[in-house]
Structure 1
């Protein structure tokens, strides 16, 4: 059946994204109050390594979500590239429950293997690294906090496919409602445990509780959505290992490409925090990480409309409705640009002074934040355009993303280490590596899919926002 995006989906999409991305900001005053500079820097290293651990699914998350959308839109079979011509017409048709069943059971086996591999690597490689960068901190406290955090990452990876399945079938509202409740629980526990004097253990345990609640509720919501659980029981179809393996081979064709793209996005953003921890002090790393988290948060919030509309856009492509696809892209990009500029202004004029008030002595450089904010406009736009292209089940940008991100890490290390440019070296390394090619090439490709240009598309999106009653799309 065709997936439509409603006002309720968009509203809850923003609520979930805002709370998710501002969670670290909301808890920041308490972290700066109850944690020393060293423990604060260490916590943000945890966060960066947590973002890295998400790469262990190596592209299965977006690939599976995309293929679930195709199955929900009525695809008879899945293809390695593109989409089967035997798909629901524009008016929509029944979901392919049999194909959905095979996808779900393949995910279960796949994510168990992935999460076990991630757990082993985090323990064997991550633990010595954490101890290496924190010699002045209490070893037992560091190890306990790290073990709790690693446990949370393992559970999040293993049960994460249910959240992917929910997004794939277009249950955007349901998923974000669960996300909001889970984040509120995380924030509440963080504040209470920090106030109780548990130090860095407090945010680690709160993160564990958040992930457990999110995954368990997502599982229940998936089976209840449109009575999927009832449909799967009526189907009573056994999925053999051979069936799962054949489906895995189809998914793997683009999954490893999606995985390398995810890795490149990590290297282009969060990896610079790891670079900073090598060349800068933990306190300086904490300040730089906060700046990156701030800009990442507002760019992700600004892109919430795009994220909420992504299942509907993929469904429109699957159904061959390019007119509706063009409108969805135009509105999403207009939302992104307008909201990002507004939020960047508010961050610099209101947010930074507030952080200075709560974090005395941990001053954020406004000039560095402004440069990061300006650079993230083309960088995030490039990522959104790449996601749009991926919705066609094609990943032509993979090689260029990998080259660009690797170049960014090298340049950041050289500028920061060899030339001693500090934080400015990290910013310059990122910007130069992406602006050379990726930031203009892939938007050009994305807009050509719906026969338009960047300027025309955003203009059309702004005009569309002024039309009354434009939802559903």
Structure 2
């Protein structure tokens, strides 16, 4: 009995994703205090700027990552083409369509090769420009620039290596990926701790972490070649299929624009603020952004780990089961997020004082606004991902309009409210359009009412967040 439970947990995408994110979260409790204690304010600010720029590499993906994973999942479910599945799915489900997957893989390799060249250009020009002022504020400027060079090199490797992750996720090998990823994350954390305890510099810390980035790519390359009886390594290289590309490009560019106008704007705000804000305020904001992003990623596990399965259920026309699994994933994800932001609000300042940190945390009001904005965005994002299982991409509309609102409100309020204009702009944009627009399309695609669905999805976590907000946590 116990062995069966362990086996189910070992092969559960959600539990393994949580295990992976939990190991990464250890860096918040072990690595983060060491960084805040050992590095100067300028170095801390630079470190989190590195992190923000690395996060922005997903923008160069132009939306292809989620698109490729989704259409591979469709092909595994028996789809004969890359299409849109809004209602009944396909009428007859055959065995996985490996011929289509092989075509998709060939196109994916070509696309990511050229995207990697684009990313190299963006890093070399715009990334380096964004770091001119922050690097000028640290003592060892030469080491900082070398560290940036290491990040560029390894980020290009990681970016191209996304092709293996897309393939594995499309095959719903989430549990396998996250299981191994957990142990590699532990290795990266132990390496990082060793470097910091020995008094290592930013350059040494960057090198220690980027070695594991490359190892992760090698891991995915190896896994892709052994799963499903090694079908991937038997794939024949095919010529670039322009017709297939156009079918892939239509949902991809929309997802790419969506990423730019949502997560992209959030991290770009930190980079731009670093050009005008004081080093102390920049460091405090980037720390808050790092923490809320980490909480967001952990809370994503219960829902996002199910996306390949949800895509397959959609193409098979099993909408009731799709709705049930989506509700459960959303509920747990919202609860985890709320508990995470409350914990940070209660204990962050005490922990920073305990470790004699060189920086302070943002005010509680600012953290409350930022948490509310991210909560609303998480709500809309999960509904958007649920609707995207139809392969009808509308996220560019949702994120585009909400992003414009965010920028407009932020610009108008920045003189009066300073850095508070950032979370206020986010909240207005997400509430004003993104959240309700995503939910409307998602629920319509399942032919279910708002209250019927949300009483098992967001209601309880929302009530908890509102009460805690009124009590100022």
TM-score by length of 2: 0.88
Relative to structure 1, is the Cα distance of residues 208 and 231 closer, same or farther in structure 2, using a 3 angstrom cutoff?
closer
CA distance in 2, matches of 1:30, 1:213: 24
Q: Report 1:197-208 matches (<5 A).
A: 197-208=199-210
Distance 1:230 1:253, change over 3 A: closer
- 1:178 & 1:41 partners in 2: Cα distance? 31
Give the Cα–Cα distance (whole angstroms) in 2 for the partners of residues 18 and 414 of structure 1.
39
- CA offset digits 1:398-442 (Å, max 9, x no partner): 1231132133234334433x33x3331222122222221112221
Q: Offset at 1:139? A: 2.4
Tell me the equivalent position of 1:346: 343
Write out aligned runs for 1:31-430 (5 A): 31-79=35-83, 81-82=84-85, 87=90, 89=92, 93-137=94-138, 138-227=140-229, 229-230=230-231, 233=234, 237-241=236-240, 243=241, 245-364=242-361, 365-416=363-414, 418-419=415-416, 421-430=417-426
Q: Distance in 1 between matches of 2:152 and 2:62?
A: 18
Displacement after TM superposition at 1:268 (Å): 4.1
User: 2:224 touches 2:232 (CA, 8 Å); kept in 1?
Assistant: no
Unaligned runs of 5+ in 2: 1-7, 460-473
Q: How many residues align?
A: 448
- 2:14 equivalent among 2, 10, 17: 10
Per-residue deviation, residues 275-305 of structure 1 (Å, max 9, x unmatched) = 3212312221111111122122222212211
Q: Deviations over 1:243-274 (max 9, x none)?
A: 3x332222111111110011112244212212
Tell me, yes or no, if the aligned pair for 1:170 and 1:312 is still in contact at 8 Å.
yes
Shift of 1:359: 4.7
SS at match of 1:290: helix
Scaled by the length of structure 1, what TM-score is found?
A: 0.88
Alpha-carbon distance in 1 for matches of 2:24, 2:86: 32
User: For residues 375 and 237 of structure 1, do their structure 2 counterparts lie closer, same or farther at Cα, with a shift above 3 Å needed?
Assistant: closer
CA separation of 1:300 and 1:454: change in aligned 2, threshold 3 A = farther
Distance in 1, Cα, partners of 2:153 & 2:199: 22
Shift of 1:352: 4.5
| 2:434 equivalent in structure 1 | 438
Do 1:58 and 1:259's aligned partners in 2 also have CA atoms closer than 8 Å? yes
Mapped partners of 1:181, 1:409: distance in 2: 40
5+ unaligned residues in a row in structure 1: which ranges? 1-5, 464-473
SS in structure 2 opposite 1:269?
helix
How far apart, in 1, do the equivalents of 2:338 and 2:307 lie? Answer: 22
